[in-house]
Amino acid sequence: MQTTKLSLLIKLAANNRNIVRTVVSSNSVTVNVSDQLKPLTQIPGPSSFPIINQLHHFLPGGSLYKIDGFELLEKFYKEYGPIVRLDGIIGGTPALVIIFDAESAAQVLRSENWMPIRPGFHSLEYYRKHHNKSREDSLKPTGLITDHGDNWKQFRSKVNPIMMQPKTIKLYSSALDEVALDMIARMRSIRNDKNILEGKFDIEMNLWALESISVMALGGRIGCLDPNLAEDSPERKLIQCVHDIFKVSDELDFKPSLWRYFPTKTFKRAMNLYDEQQKLAKHFVDKAVKELKTKSKSDEEDSVLEKLLAVDEEIAYIMASDMLFAGVDTAANTIIATLYLLATNQEKQNKLREEVTSTHDKRSYLKACIKESLRMMPVVSGNLRQTTKEYNILGYRIPKDHYLTFAHSYLSMMESEFPRPTEFIPERWIAEKDDPLYYGKAHPFAFSPFGFGARSCIGRRIAELEVETFLARVIENFQVEWFGPPPKITPASLNYITGPFNFIFKDV
């Protein structure tokens, strides 16, 4: 899970910093600054007043009031160009510069790749390091989401060989296919006579996603697809808890809030939610560990959880818990977006069906459909970094410790990067190099759904296998159709597709 919703980062706190005399240029060479670079204050952006800075633009009557998500990014780019300054206000985190230039994104992300600082989820970091914790506890590893520096590096170095190993991930192909087939059966059982699924479609996709990630994180099924699953079951509680956490962290971490000065009502609710999520995750991990202890020895390769436990039991618990936290809403939203785009592009869906029902093992068009979905309807809006040095970006001096965000969701919809960007064209990802649509003609940093480098999404291979497996089974079994207007996307910590979910699933 990479960066968070760009548009809500507009309400960040002022953060004055001293400027030193060197800047890293685009070729990573340190150069003398003198007067050749413009200062941060001259970067274009909404007009600013003393004390309130740019807040008035976002209040009722302001030019940016109730403008959000992609629409906000588009307005920024058209009015101010490829670099935009957003000042902060009291009660938030540091001010922000938004970058709409792929080469500048490459310059920073490559330069910051040794030990990058990726801010976000400050309230979760506070909970894990300080809330009801001793000083000794605050120094312990807390996970890839909330750790930075040496703690993060040591944690990542221990889990990378396991989490990023294709051979290990592919061990779960059959188990994930079993989950997919069970979900297909469930979908058939809850369809009405109009072939529309009864109940909340997004919750159904969350149940599939949690069952799938549990196979990977815990080494087995947890029963999310049980038709008799109670509303107050731990499985449903975890899904709701994770969803609530993303919403409440959006309020605390990416909007003005005074929780850093005193415990607000929202802060107290967040601490309770983090408590509940930790307890629920521990419930599932404890159960999995207990089953592993009674498991008879076999020639099968150890599961991800077994391998992590062999390395470090504390890290194993944290990693499994974070997989259950970060791997549900992200996978569910990705599959919903892809199904919508295929339902509204029937010729592409039919082409995909030909591939997944053939005997060919290589499913290049399946992968292309998912990539195109992530380009058009990404789960997150971009990548965020806190600079560890000064930069020369587009002629402006960016100081050390400043927040930069790279608007990949907008970059990937630029005509200059991806011709016919508003059209769902999976073929661009498998086209020949001389084809005008060939994806390789775009800048490599214009599309970055899983982040970059050392802090790229550690669950990428897992997520790809989950979505590919389920999508193939859905298209194999159903002709997916859509009626009515497009679904609504609600930007928060993630870009949530909130419906209405006007899907029709007809048997093939």
Query: Is residue 303 domain-shared with residue 182, that is, in the same domain?
Result: yes
Q: Confirm or deny that 457 is annotated as ligand binding.
A: yes
Q: What is the pTM of this model?
A: 0.91
* 328-to-65, 124, 217, 350, 494 alpha-carbon distances in Å: 31, 17, 12, 28, 12
Amino acid at 31: V
Q: CATH number for the domain including 305?
A: 1.10.630.10
Query: Is residue 72 domain-shared with residue 107, that is, in the same domain?
Result: yes
Q: SS3 breakdown of the chain: % helix, strand, coil, rounded to 5?
A: 50, 10, 40
Tell me what pLDDT residue 280 has.
Answer: 97
* 189-to-186, 197, 227, 474, 499 alpha-carbon distances in Å: 5, 9, 9, 14, 21
* 462 lies in some domain: yes
Alpha carbon 484 to its chain centroid, in Å, reads 28
Domain-terminating residue out of 426, 448, 470: 448
**What is the number of structural domains in the chain?**
2
Tell me what pLDDT residue 90 has.
Answer: 63
Distance CA 83, CA 88 (A): 16
Tens-binned pLDDT, residue by residue, of the chain (508 aa): 444 434 334 333 333 333 333 344 443 333 344 458 999 999 999 999 888 888 889 889 999 998 888 999 999 999 999 999 999 866 565 689 999 999 999 999 999 888 999 988 999 999 999 999 988 888 899 999 999 999 999 999 999 999 988 888 988 999 999 999 999 999 999 999 999 999 899 999 999 999 999 999 999 999 999 999 999 999 999 999 999 999 999 889 887 788 988 999 999 999 999 999 999 999 999 999 999 988 877 767 788 999 999 999 999 999 999 999 999 999 999 999 999 999 999 999 999 999 999 988 889 999 999 999 999 999 998 899 999 999 999 999 999 999 999 999 999 999 999 999 999 999 999 999 999 999 999 999 999 999 999 999 999 999 999 999 999 999 999 999 999 999 999 888 899 999 899 999 999 9
Query: Is residue 237 domain-shared with residue 275, that is, in the same domain?
Result: yes
Q: Counting beta carbons within 10 angstroms of the beta carbon of residue 455, is it exposed (0 to 12), middle (13 to 18) or buried (19 or more)?
A: buried
CA nearest neighbour of 373 among 339, 344, 330: 339
Domain-terminating residue out of 403, 420, 448: 448
* 293 lies in some domain: yes
Query: Is residue 398 domain-shared with residue 459, that is, in the same domain?
Result: no
Give the range of the structural domain holding residue 172, as residue numbers without chain letter: 141-345+453-507
Distance CA 220, CA 235 (A): 14
Distance CA 366, CA 358 (A): 12
Tell me what pLDDT residue 92 has.
Answer: 60
Query: Is residue 230 domain-shared with residue 250, that is, in the same domain?
Result: yes
* 9 lies in some domain: no
Query: Is residue 280 domain-shared with residue 219, that is, in the same domain?
Result: yes
Query: Is residue 386 domain-shared with residue 465, that is, in the same domain?
Result: no
Query: Is residue 165 domain-shared with residue 275, that is, in the same domain?
Result: yes
Query: Is residue 197 domain-shared with residue 290, that is, in the same domain?
Result: yes
* 4 lies in some domain: no
Domain-terminating residue out of 409, 427, 448: 448
Query: Is residue 308 domain-shared with residue 390, that is, in the same domain?
Result: no
* 17 lies in some domain: no
* 369 lies in some domain: no
Distance CA 332, CA 328 (A): 6
Helix 364-376 vs helix 346-356: crossing angle, to nearest 10: 150
* 430 lies in some domain: yes
Strands (E), 283-331: none
Tell me what pLDDT residue 452 has.
Answer: 94
CB of 483 closer than 8 Å to CB of 194: no
Query: Is residue 190 domain-shared with residue 215, that is, in the same domain?
Result: yes
Query: Is residue 458 domain-shared with residue 433, that is, in the same domain?
Result: no
* 177 lies in some domain: yes
Buried b (16+ CB within 10 A) or exposed e, 216-247: bbbbbbbebbeeeeeeeebbbbbbebbbbbbb
Q: Can you tell me whether residue 85 is helix, strand or coil? A: strand
